[in-house]
Each structure stands twice: as structure tokens, then as C-alpha cells.
């Protein structure tokens, strides 16, 4: 048998490696920005076009590279950050594998312009699909400029799997948030299609959070701090009343590197237990500093999943630290039954002297002495002696009471209007009989037996088709608000609302200003209560962040699903008989009656034969 195992060519091996490192344009942004930070840059610029598909450029003022290093940096497993295997367990840099630039150069057109501070001239290298097109000496500023164009130009199948420009842009923004939060001492500028997105000067951690997520975030933050032999914890958590349905503002940083840790996330949820509503998630920005030898970063190509040596201890410390912060800043209720709250001195009066009240008595005051009224005032103060003849005011009063007769009085009767649904209700009752079971199911009879309907899923189907119709024909009715609502969101959430604003207007929402961190709503659909607007908007943002639809049809579909899910009758709500009949009739008037918008069964049919078989 002939030998069949062969070594792959370098360009094929690089493309395979690129599949692990470069999943989408956001992956390129992450690798290039982390390289800039490892180079000691204090100013980093990120420039993208068309969601990163056409152009990604990262410019930094780091230490740069020599001509030889610039050429070697595109070779596989060529790195300056580790030299031996033991260095993997004592990492102080972001990158260490030496695969990023080689993988990017294998599937894109790359231009590098770099110069060190000692050199008088810089180096410019052009690479297309792992092939070096040119390398020349040029005049350049100190630092490095990496320009990546036409991502996946030589792998059309991978390019077809990319989402729309809008979706890819959101992933890049998420990656930008993670890196800029991990390094508040570095100045970042972000440009998308020629317009400014973020201008973040060097700052402390709290101000960097406020710069990214809006001014109103500052009032939501509670500081967290703990220093132990195992870990040093710092950062902020958000107050329980600001918990959201989405998981957007949740960040863990281990040694200035963004990580994902469901285990530590569970510790945060445990600390907030009993303080937030079910189905909501607290926001947090937690920095963890551990010994580099106690953390393993080299378990995943994206380096976001890490392994700690002593996770159980870290879990306990983190949970107790967050609980302590909630209690220290009076967020968590105190249960001290022996403490008298009335005897507590306010904090601002702690060091102030007590002023003893003094009582002054006028010994010459006589309440029966006549007091002359002041000049220019006809109604003065008079003593008892000046009220002579007061008895005459009550003469004949007892006679009037005796002779008064209330039998001749007539009262206007209130006109009671009958319900506008009376006629319709009587008509429905003559044709159908329903009742509610366990505040969850509606049971009604049919010719062959009975139907058991899930009230929540049935109402979801009814509302879904109604909202989808309004979006399609754009004939929704809106109710204007007397006082416009001002809602606070982060710039990223506001950008999502801007994307779906047109569809929201077709449903019945009326918007005012949509600025960097706020949304003004002047009108809402008829089915939406004013108190539910904040919850609906948060649910919409959460769904769009997770589903990230591309085309307008999927946006309309998701919008209708979210509104139906939020506004539908929930399990546990009591419905009167007329509402039950109305819901049944509306359900069977829908185009699709068997499934909810989320493809779950709406009702089941139990025939008379099924019941008879139970008695055999």
C-alpha cells in the first residue's frame, strides 16, 4: 500500500490555523489591539469600514519593530513573548502563541508600517494570502500601523458565513468595550465608516465605565474591593434596582484580560440572591489580580476561557466580597432586631454639638386684656370682653332643627351606562362555555369533546399576528403621552434602538430625541401601558443582542415576537368569563392556531372517546 500521509503546505496550514484564531472581523480587532497594548502603546486608534469586511486598521504609538522583526512576525509560532514552555505559566502579555499575524495574513490583504524610536526610517510590508508582495524602507512615525483589507478574500465559503455589516459591527464594538475597559490608562479612538464612535482619553476605571456606558451609569455603581493572599478584587457592581433582563454589562477581567467564567458569574448571582427580580441579571465590572502561575490561559484559541488553580476559594471570596459591598453601602437590608432606629444619629451630625432648646415665657402676658388692632387692618385680635352679645347668634337655631323636614328632598339619580361589551358577551355565551383551570389553562367544549388551551401561548399567537400585521401595513394606532418618557441606555443600546426605530414606529411607538445615552418616547401603542415601556425596551435590546437579526424581515419578526412575549397574559393571571371567550375566539381567528410564535404547542384536544376509554 502506498504512503498516503503528507505534510500540508504552509499556506494551507495557515488557513486552517486562521479558522481557529479568526472567526469574524471582531477576532482580528482583538488580536491587533492586544498586540498594540503589548507594545506599550498609550494611544490606539481603531478604524473600520463595512463591519470590518473591507477594512480594519489599528494604529498605535508603541515601541514598533525593526525590519527583521517585522518580517519574522508573520511567520507561524514566531513570538517575542515566550521562549520556553515554562513561560506559558508566567504570562504578563496578551498574546504569546505567535499565530495571530500569520493567520490574519493567510486570509486577507495586510499592510504593516512600523518604526522603532531608535531607527531613523521604518519598514512597510505588504502580504496577500501568506505571500509577501513587497517590503520596503519608508518614512514612518514611531509605532505600528496594521491595515487588514478584504477579509476572507481567498475563502469565499467563510466570507459567506459572515453576518450583515450591522451585526459584525456590534461584535467589534463588544470587543472594543472589553479591551478599553481592561486598560483605562490607555487612550482609545474608534472610527466607523469615517465617523467618530468613541473618543476615550486616559482615565481611571470608574470614569472609563461612564465614558462607554453613559453618564447615568455613575449613579448605579457600587465599589467592590478586597485584598487577600489568593486574589485581589477591585471594580464595581451595579445596584440591584438597576438589574436588567439582558446580560450586556457583565465583565470579568483576570490580570487585565477579559475572561468568561460561568462559575464566577454564579458567585455574583448568589450574592444578589433575594435582591433582584427573577429573570433579571445584575451588572458588574470586576477586576481579579492573581499570581500568573495560578491561572492557565492557554486552554482556548480565543484566550477568553481560563482555568484557576483554586476556583472554590476564589468563588467564596468573590461572593462574600460582593455581599459585603452591598451591605456596606446600605443596598442590602439590615436585620438587627435589638437596634432602635429612632436612636441612631445621622452620619452628617456625628461630630456636631447638641443645641439645648430654651423656653422663653412672657410673664406680663394677659389673655383677657383687649388688644388693639394694628393700623390699616380691620380684622384685629380681640379679647373675650369684646365679644359681647354672642348669644344672639344662636337664637332660633333649635326651632329650625325641629321644623326641618328632609322628606321633600329629591336626589338626582346616577345614569349607569351598560358595558360596551354586553351585547357581544351575551352572543358569545350562547355559543360557547369556558372556564379557567389553575390560572393557566382555558377549557372550552367542542362537538367531539373539549379543548385545553394554554392562555399564555394563545395570547402570544394573537398578539404576534396583530403586531406583524401592523408592521406590514403600517396602520398601528398610537396613544400620545401627556409627559414624554425619558429612558436611559448605553450608547450601544441606543444604536440598537436606532436600527429598529422604523419598525417600532410602525407598531405605534413615537420617538423624540435619541442621543448618546438617552431615549425620549412621546407615544406608545394602544396595547402598551406607560409603566411597561422600560421593560419592553430592555427586552427588545436583549433579544436583538442575542439573536442579532440581519435583514428587515427578521427584524420585524423578532420585534413582533418580543412584544407578544412581553405583553401577553401570563400564567397565574385570572381571566373573567368574557376575556376567556374573547381569547378563544381570537385564537381560532388566527392564521396559525396550533403553535405559538416560538413553535410551542398552544392547545390539545380531548375527544369524547378519549374520555370513555378512561372509564373502561
* pLDDT at 111 exceeding the cut of 90: yes
Q: How confident is the model at residue 423 (pLDDT cuts 50, 70, 90)?
A: very low
Tell how strand 307-308 and strand 284-289 pair up.
unpaired
Q: Other CB atoms closer than 10 Å to residue 379's CB: what's the count?
A: 7
Grid coordinates representing 540 are 427588545
The mean per-residue pLDDT over the stretch 442-449 comes to 89
The reported pLDDT for the residue numbered 430 is 38
What is the pLDDT averaged over residues 459-476?
86
| Tens digit of each residue's pLDDT (9 = 90 or more) over 574-612 | 998 889 999 999 999 999 999 999 999 999 999 999 989
Q: Are 162 and 153 in contact (CB under 8 A)?
A: no
Please name every residue paired with 520 in a beta bridge, in sequence order, or none if there are none.
Answer: 486
Alpha helix stretches (DSSP H) within 307-391:
311-328
598 Cβ partners below 8 Å, 6+ apart?
A: 460, 561, 565
347 backbone dihedrals φ, ψ, rounded to 5°: -60, -40
Are 45 and 191 contacting, i.e. CB atoms less than 8 angstroms apart? yes
Distance of CA 331 to the CA centre of its chain: 21
Tens-digit pLDDT profile for residues 185-213: 999 999 999 888 889 999 999 999 998 98
Q: Of 309-318, 379-388, 407-416, 556-565, which range is least confident?
A: 379-388
The closest of 56, 73, 78, 55 to 114, measured between CA atoms, is: 73
CA distances from 470 to 477, 478, 507, 565 (A): 9, 11, 6, 16
H or E element: which one contains 453? Answer: strand 449-454
Q: In whole angstroms, what is the distance from residue 85 CA to residue 97 CA? A: 11
Surface-to-core class of residue 135, CB atoms within 10 Å of its CB (0-12 exposed, 13-18 middle, 19+ buried)? middle
Query: Which residue's entry shows cell 400620545?
Result: 480
User: Which of residues 236 and 554 earns the better pLDDT score?
Assistant: 236
Answer yes or no: is pLDDT of 446 > 90: no
* pLDDT > 80? residue 548: no
Q: Which pLDDT does position 164 carry in this prediction?
A: 83
In this structure, are residues 234 and 290 in contact, taking their beta carbons and an 8 Å threshold? Answer: no
More confident residue, 317 or 329: 317
Does the pLDDT value for residue 418 go beyond 50?
no
Backbone angles phi, psi at 375, to 5 degrees: -65, 140
Positions of E strands within 458-543:
478-488, 510-514, 518-525
Copy the grid coordinates of residue 493.
443600546
Nearest Cα residue to 174 out of 430, 466, 571, 546: 546
Provide the pLDDT for residue 552.
54
Q: pLDDT at residue 308 above 50?
A: yes
> How many helices and strands in the chain, by DSSP H and E?
18, 22
DSSP 51-65: GGTSEEEEEE-S---
pLDDT at 245: 76
- The DSSP code sequence of 147-211 is EEESTTTT-HHHHHTS--HHHHHHHHHHHHHHHHHH-TTSEEEEEETTEEEEEE-S--HHHHHHH
Region 454-479: what's the mean pLDDT?
87
Cβ of 50: how many Cβ atoms within 10 Å?
14
22: helix, coil or strand? coil
512 phi/psi in degrees, rounded to 5: -100, -115
Alpha carbons 120 and 135: distance in angstroms, whole number: 17
Inform me whether the pLDDT recorded for 386 exceeds 60. Answer: no
Query: Does CATH place domain 10-200 in 3.30.565.10?
Result: yes
Q: At what angle do helices 205-213 and 491-499 cross, to 10 degrees?
A: 10
Across 250-264, 335-349, 373-387, 600-614, least confident range: 373-387
Residue 507: what pLDDT?
84
Q: Please name which of 308, 236, 240, 229 lies closest in space to residue 271, comparing C-alpha atoms.
A: 240
Q: Tell me what pLDDT residue 419 has.
A: 41
| 346/437: higher pLDDT | 437
Task: Write down the pLDDT at residue 425.
Answer: 36
Cα distances (angstroms) measured from residue 251 to each of 59, 105, 539: 26, 31, 20
User: What kind of architecture, by CATH, is found in domain 207-328?
Assistant: 2-Layer Sandwich (3.30)
Q: Check whether 566 has a pLDDT greater than 90.
A: no
| CATH placement of domain 434-604 | 3.30.1370.100
Integer Cα distance of 186 and 616 in angstroms: 79
Tell me the average pLDDT across 416-441.
58
- Tens digit of each residue's pLDDT (9 = 90 or more) over 78-110: 777 666 666 666 676 776 666 788 889 888 999
Residue 35: partners with Cβ closer than 8 Å, 6 or more residues away: 58, 94, 95, 100, 101, 144, 146
> What average pLDDT does the segment 246-262 reach?
88
DSSP reduced 3-state for 576: coil
Compute the chain's Rg from CA coordinates: 36
Q: Identify the pLDDT of residue 398.
A: 56
CB atoms within 10 A of CB 41: 24
Residue 247's nearest CA partner among 521, 539, 577 is 539
Return the percentage of the chain with pLDDT > 70, whole number: 80
User: What residue spans in the chain does CATH classification 3.30.230.10 cover?
Assistant: 207-328
C-alpha of 31 from chain center: 26
State the pLDDT confidence band at 161, using cuts at 50, 70 and 90: confident
Residue 154 confidence class, pLDDT cut points 50, 70, 90: confident
Inter-residue contact 493 to 503 (CB < 8 Å): no
Average pLDDT, the chain: 82
pLDDT digits (tens, 9 = 90+) for 483-499: 888 888 877 788 888 88
Write out the residue limits of the CATH 3.30.1370.100 domain(s) in the chain. 434-604
Amino acid at each position: 500500500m502506498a504512503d498516503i500521509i503528507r505534510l500540508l503546505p504552509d499556506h494551507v496550514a495557515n488557513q486552517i490555523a486562521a479558522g481557529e484564531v479568526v472567526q469574524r472581523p471582531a477576532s482580528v480587532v482583538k488580536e491587533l489591539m492586544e498586540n498594540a497594548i503589548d507594545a506599550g502603546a498609550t494611544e490606539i486608534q481603531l478604524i473600520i469600514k463595512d463591519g470590518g469586511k473591507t477594512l480594519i486598521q489599528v494604529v498605535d504609538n508603541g515601541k514598533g519593530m525593526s525590519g527583521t522583526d517585522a518580517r519574522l512576525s508573520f511567520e507561524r509560532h514566531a513570538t517575542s513573548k515566550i521562549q520556553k514552555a515554562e513561560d506559558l505559566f508566567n504570562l504578563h502579555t496578551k498574546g504569546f502563541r505567535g499565530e495571530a499575524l500569520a493567520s490574519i495574513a493567510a486570509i486577507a490583504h495586510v499592510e504593516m508600517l512600523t518604526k522603532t524610536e531608535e531607527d531613523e526610517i521604518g519598514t512597510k510590508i505588504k502580504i496577500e494570502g501568506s505571500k509577501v508582495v513587497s517590503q520596503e524602507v519608508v518614512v514612518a512615525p514611531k509605532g505600528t500601523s496594521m491595515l487588514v483589507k478584504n477579509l476572507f478574500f481567498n475563502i469565499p465559503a467563510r466570507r459567506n458565513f459572515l453576518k450583515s455589516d450591522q451585526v459584525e459591527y456590534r461584535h467589534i464594538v463588544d470587543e472594543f468595550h472589553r479591551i478599553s475597559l481592561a486598560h483605562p490608562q490607555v487612550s482609545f479612538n474608534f472610527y466607523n465608516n469615517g465617523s467618530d464612535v468613541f473618543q476615550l482619553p486616559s482615565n481611571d476605571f470608574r470614569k472609563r465605565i461612564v465614558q462607554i456606558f453613559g453618564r447615568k451609569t455613575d449613579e448605579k455603581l457600587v465599589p467592590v474591593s478586597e485584598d487577600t493572599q489568593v486574589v485581589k478584587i477591585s471594580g464595581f457592581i451595579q445596584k440591584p434596582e438597576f438589574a436588567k433582563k439582558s446580560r450586556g454589562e457583565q465583565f470579568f477581567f483576570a490580570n487585565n484580560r477579559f475572561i468568561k467564567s460561568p462559575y464566577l458569574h454564579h458567585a455574583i448571582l448568589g450574592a444578589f440572591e433575594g435582591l433582584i427580580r427573577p429573570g433579571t441579571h445584575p451588572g458588574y465590572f470586576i477586576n481579579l489580580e492573581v499570581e500568573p502561575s495560578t491561572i492557565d490561559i492557554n486552554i482556548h484559541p480565543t484566550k477568553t476561557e481560563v482555568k484557576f488553580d483554586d476556583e472554590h476559594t476564589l468563588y467564596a471570596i468573590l461572593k462574600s466580597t460582593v455581599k459585603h459591598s452591598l451591605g456596606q453601602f446600605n443596598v442590602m437590608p439590615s436585620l438587627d432586631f435589638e437596634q432602635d432606629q429612632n436612636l441612631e444619629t445621622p452620619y452628617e451630625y456625628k461630630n456636631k454639638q447638641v443645641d439645648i432648646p430654651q423656653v422663653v415665657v412672657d410673664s406680663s402676658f394677659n389673655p383677657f386684656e383687649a388688644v388693639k388692632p394694628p393700623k390699616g387692618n380691620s380684622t384685629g385680635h380681640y379679647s373675650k370682653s369684646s365679644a359681647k352679645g354672642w348669644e344672639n347668634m344662636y337664637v332660633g337655631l333649635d326651632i329650625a332643627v325641629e321644623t326641618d323636614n328632609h322628606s321633600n328632598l329629591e336626589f338626582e339619580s346616577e345614569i349607569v351606562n351598560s358595558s360596551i361589551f354586553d351585547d357581544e358577551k351575551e352572543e358569545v355565551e350562547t355559543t360557547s362555555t369556558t372556564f379557567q383551570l389553575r390560572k393557566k389553562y382555558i377549557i372550552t367544549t367542542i362537538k367531539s369533546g373539549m379543548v385545553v388551551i394554554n392562555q399564555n401561548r394563545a395570547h402570544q399567537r394573537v398578539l404576534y399576528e396583530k403586531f406583524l400585521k401592523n408592521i406590514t401595513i403600517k396602520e398601528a394606532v398610537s396613544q400620545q403621552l401627556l409627559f414624554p418618557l425619558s429612558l436611559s441606555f448605553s450608547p450601544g443600546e441606543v444604536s440598537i434602538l436606532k436600527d429598529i426605530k422604523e419598525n417600532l414606529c410602525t407598531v405605534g411607538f413615537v420617538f423624540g430625541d435619541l442621543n448618546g445615552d438617552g431615549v425620549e418616547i412621546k407615544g406608545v401603542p394602544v396595547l402598551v401601558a406607560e409603566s411597561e415601556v422600560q421593560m419592553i425596551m430592555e427586552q427588545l435590546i436583549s433579544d436583538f443582542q442575542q439573536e442579532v437579526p440581519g435583514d428587515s424581515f427578521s427584524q420585524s419578526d423578532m420585534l413582533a415576537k418580543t412584544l407578544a412575549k412581553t405583553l401577553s397574559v401570563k400564567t397565574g393571571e385570572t381571566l373573567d368569563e368574557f376575556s376567556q371567550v374573547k381569547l378563544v375566539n381570537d385564537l381560532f381567528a388566527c392564521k396559525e392556531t396550533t403553535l405559538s410564535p416560538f413553535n410551542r404547542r398552544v392547545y390539545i384536544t380531548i375527544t369524547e372517546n378519549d374520555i370513555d376509554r378512561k372509564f373502561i
